[in-house]
Each structure stands twice: as structure tokens, then as C-alpha cells.
Amino acid sequence: MVTRGEAKLVGIGGRSPGRPRIGTASRCAPTASATPWWSPSGEKLRVAGDDDFLLITDLMSGCEMRNGEAAAVNINNIVADDIYRITEQVNQTTKLYDRLKHRKLGEYRDTPLPAHTRQTILWYADKHGTSPEGYLMRHPRDPSQTYPAYSLSNQWKRIKASGNVDIPEGLVIYSFRHYFASNCLSHGTPITDAAEWMGHRSLDITFKIYRHLMPGSIGRAAKMLNMGLAA
């Protein structure tokens, strides 16, 4: 669990830091083979909107959150330096915190928390504060209400219309969540782990969507089997 005071650790000399940037060294660092659009578009895109947009895109690309789950991010759900516990989402119909998709009330899923995503969460909390319950994102005009889905949608439309960022054809907000999967799978993360982290209803869904990111798995298996047979 992280307190408000710990959020200041991302500053320098006690000052509020500037917008966090993605680090360069990482087991799941962005690569062209994983997602061609990320570099250089990804870095420019994540900082093209306001702080809310940056936080959401970092949570989607770094922690595989759905839009509604990112809107319900809570600083108390950092259960370890590298683990975030996703416990709820903002229901787009009721505008209230609700159970996760494909989960019963009270169920959760733990997901990897990259250092740069953790830094963004702490930076945002230090700059904007949290609700008494620890929620980071709130309605821009009424802090007592949840973050509205239309705010994210409107920002996305403005960013696309501005022409300041080269957005590849077909790229949507949800592509940031797809980036998480492609980044992990292209670096050898087992698809069973990715499916669990992403909260898919079944492994079949993950396999159908992302199987093409593991084109070398059969070849690698053949080499390993051959090593065993030749021993």
C-alpha cells in the first residue's frame, strides 16, 4: 500500500516532478516488432492530452487495464512495488464503481506494475491528490463523482483532430491495452499469464487475438525437443 507521502518520492528535492517519461531499459520495453506504432507515435501520443489522458494510457499500456478500470485506479491498490491489484471499474451506465468484467463482486486480479507506470501513478497522486478512499481520477467538474467516459473520448477526438501526432490508421484508445499484450507476448511471457492478467473470460479469447505474436513458438519447441533427444 502506498501513502500520499510516498508519492513525493518521485520528486527531486521535494519539488513536484514534471510529467514522467517512459524508461529505456525494461524486460518489456517497447519494440518495433511488438507494436510498430509505439515508436515514435506512442510516446508522443501519451503526452498529447492532459494529465488524466496520460495516466489512463500508461495504465492501459503498462498494466493492461480496460478504460473503466483505469478510471477506478486507487493508490491503495499498489500491493507491492511491482504489483497492482485491479479490484473494480467505473460502470459506464451507472457511473458508479462496480465489479470487474467477467468477475463476481469482490473478486480481483493482480497485474504486473512496471516502474514507469508506478511512477506515473505516484506523480499524478502527488500533483492532483486523491479522494479520501484513495481514488485518483474524478469528475473534472464534480470531484465527488467518478471519472466520466466521455472525457476520455472527447480528448481522443481532439488529439486526432489537432494533427499534432501522427496516429496510424485504425489506432484507437484500446490499442494501448493491446500494446500490453503484444509487448509481453513478444518478449516470451506465457500466454496463460497474459490471459490471467488481462481478465479474459477464457484462454481461447487471448489465443485467438494474440496467437500471431508468437510465430516462433513451434520452432523454439522443435529446437528444445531436439536438444533433449540428442542428449
| Rounded (5°) CA angle 215-225-192 | 50
pLDDT in tens, 74-119: 999 999 999 999 999 999 999 999 999 887 888 899 999 999 999 9
- Is residue 225's pLDDT more than 60? yes
pLDDT in tens, 103-160: 788 889 999 999 999 999 999 999 999 999 999 999 999 999 999 999 999 999 999 9
Residues β-bridged to residue 136? none
Q: Residue 98's closest CA among 154, 149, 150?
A: 149
- Is residue 162's pLDDT more than 80? yes
- Is residue 201's pLDDT more than 80? no
What cell does 174 get? 484500446
Q: If phi over 0 gives left and psi between -120 and 50 gives alpha, with beta otherwise, what is residue 95? A: left
Give yes or no for a contact between 80 and 91, defined as CB atoms under 8 angstroms apart.
Answer: no
pLDDT in tens, 36-46: 455 556 778 88
Mean per-residue pLDDT over the chain, rounded: 80
Q: Tell how far CA 146 is from the center of its chain.
A: 19
Residue 9: per-residue pLDDT: 33
User: What's the order of all strands across the beta sheet hosting 83-86?
Assistant: 78-80, 83-86, 109-112
pLDDT-derived band at 215, boundaries 50, 70, 90: low
Q: Tell how far CA 31 is from the center of its chain.
A: 16
Give yes or no for a contact between 147 and 55, defined as CB atoms under 8 angstroms apart.
Answer: no
**For range 11-35, the mean pLDDT:** 42
Residue 218 one-letter amino acid: I
Report which secondary-structure segment, H or E, holds 110: strand 109-112
97-98/78-80 β-pairing:
unpaired
pLDDT-derived band at 231, boundaries 50, 70, 90: low
Give yes or no for a contact between 178 and 213, defined as CB atoms under 8 angstroms apart.
Answer: no
Residue 56: per-residue pLDDT: 96
pLDDT: is 21 or 65 the higher one?
65
